[in-house]
Chain A
Amino acid sequence: TQLLEQSPQFLSIQEGENLTVYCNSSSVFSSLQWYRQEPGEGPVLLVTVVTGGEVKKLKRLTFQFGDARKDSSLHITAAQPGDTGLYLCAGAGSYGKLTFGQGTILTVHP
């Protein structure tokens, strides 16, 4: 069974601080994805990483994929209250089926 371990589970920070969320897999997926989910809505895709060592930037968000394609991180610079939400990593398997980590609930206080 492929598993994704995500940490930390909860993160409460002040506006302007930096943070990192980690996602570690017991095996290799064809791709790894990061989602953000707000209350009452479904997850929304932020980024997909495919190649080992890959780094992608989305404004203040930086995503890294480990060389062995088993671990990934999401780094947010100068967090803002609008970044508050549930962040999920997910590995894509056969048919595109997603295996999700447990999620990180981020709260950014003004």
Chain B
Amino acid sequence: GAGVSQSPSNKVTEKGKDVELRCDPISGHTALYWYRQSLGQGLEFLIYFQGNSAPDKSGLPSDRFSAERTGGSVSTLTIQRTQQEDSAVYLCASSSSGMETQYFGPGTRLLVL
């Protein structure tokens, strides 16, 4: 498929464990975004990558959250010492450049028990 893919589609973990969420953007898209969607907060921006750099990390909620992007392609969002309030759908989007249309993946549904 030519769209944005994310894995895993669902993740159940225990409080205190670390999790890694993966995003494969559309080939050739230089801009990549992570968002979080939860019942209480709606859809919130987390971090923006242009290439392998992250000029805007302002949405990361705490230092337990980090993200990296390698080769200008795949990105990984890592949550350390997960808490129950981290339960949400984590969405990734990519665009051909920073101001163009964003295409969203199907998301990873994270449940922290």
Contacts and interface: CB of A to CB of B under 8 A. Distances in A.
Interface residues of B, number: 25
B48 A45 contact: no
B51 interface: no
A42 B56 contact: no
B31 interface: yes
Contacts of B63: none
B100 interface: yes
A97 B106 contact: no
A45 B101 CA distance: 8
B104 A96 contact: no
B25 interface: no
A68 interface: no
Contacts, number: 57
Contacts of A94: 56
B104 A40 contact: no
A90 B95 CA distance: 16
Given A40-B106, A42-B107, A95-B50, A100 B42 contact: yes
B57 to A, nearest CB: 11
| Chain A interface SS verdict (over half) | mixed
Contact of B42 (A44, A48, A96, A103): A103
Contacts of A101: 42
Given A42-B93, A45-B101, A45-B102, A97 B107 contact: no
Interface in A26-77: 30, 40-45, 48
Interface of A: 30, 40-45, 48, 88, 90, 92, 94-103
Given A42-B107, A95-B31, 19 more contacts: A40-B107, A41-B104, A42-B4, A43-B91, A92-B99, A94-B56, A95-B55, A95-B56, A95-B98, A96-B33, A96-B48, A96-B102, A97-B33, A97-B48, A97-B56, A98-B45, A101-B42, A103-B42, A103-B43
11 contacts: A41-B107, A42-B91, A42-B106, A43-B91, A90-B43, A95-B50, A96-B31, A96-B98, A96-B102, A98-B35, A103-B43
